[in-house]
Structure 1
Amino acid sequence: MDLPKFLLGDNTDYSDNIFIIHTEFPRFIINLIDDEIEWLEDFQGEDQKQLESEVVTLIDLASKFYDREMERYKEE
């Protein structure tokens, strides 16, 4: 199965939250309301260094994905 890099998620148990799921390494779920990240990977050594250098960019990309999706919903 070919998955998109980002997925938009919601859950009625957390109705005020907006979740973006990043499906590529390093996989994570970010709550855009408070920028809390849940990592779906176990990091060690070099992976930790790579993560630290990429985290700001990944959060920015997740936010841009969300903005783009919301614009597309408005257009429909």
Structure 2
Amino acid sequence: MELPKFLLADNTDYADSIFILHTEFPRFIINLVDDEVEWLEDLRDTEEDELQNEVIGLIQQAEEFYDREMKRYEE
């Protein structure tokens, strides 16, 4: 099965949260309300500087994905 790079997630137990799942390495879930990130990978062996730069870009892409999805819902 081919998964999209980002998925929008919802859970009524966390009604005030907006979750975005990143399905490619490094996989993570971000709550856009408070920018809390939960990693789904073991990142101990990853270059810290390289990972930090990549993560900043991925979080920005997750935010852009959410904005795009919300515009599509409005249409």
TM range (shorter): over 0.9
Q: What is the aligned partner in structure 1 of residue 63 from structure 2?
A: 63
TM-score w.r.t. length of structure 1: 0.92
Matches within 5 A, 1:1-76: 1-45=1-45, 47-49=46-48, 50-75=50-75
Poorly superposed stretches of 4+, deviation over 6 Å: none
Instruction: Quote the offset at 1:8 in angstroms.
Output: 0.0
Q: How far apart in 2 are the matches of 1:63 and 1:51?
A: 18
Q: How far apart in 1 are the matches of 2:33 and 2:20?
A: 11
Q: How far apart in 1 are the matches of 2:57 and 2:24?
A: 14
User: 3-state SS of the aligned residue for 2:8?
Assistant: strand
- Alignment RMSD: 0.9
Q: What CA deviation, in whole Å up to 9, does each residue of 1:4-56 have, x standing for no partner?
A: 000000100000000000000000000000000000000123x2423212111
Gaps of 5+ in 2: none
Q: How far apart in 2 are the matches of 1:8 and 1:48?
A: 28
Q: How far apart in 2 are the matches of 1:35 and 1:42?
A: 20
Gaps of 5+ in 1: none
Q: How far apart in 1 are the matches of 2:53 and 2:65?
A: 20
User: 3-state SS of the aligned residue for 1:43?
Assistant: coil
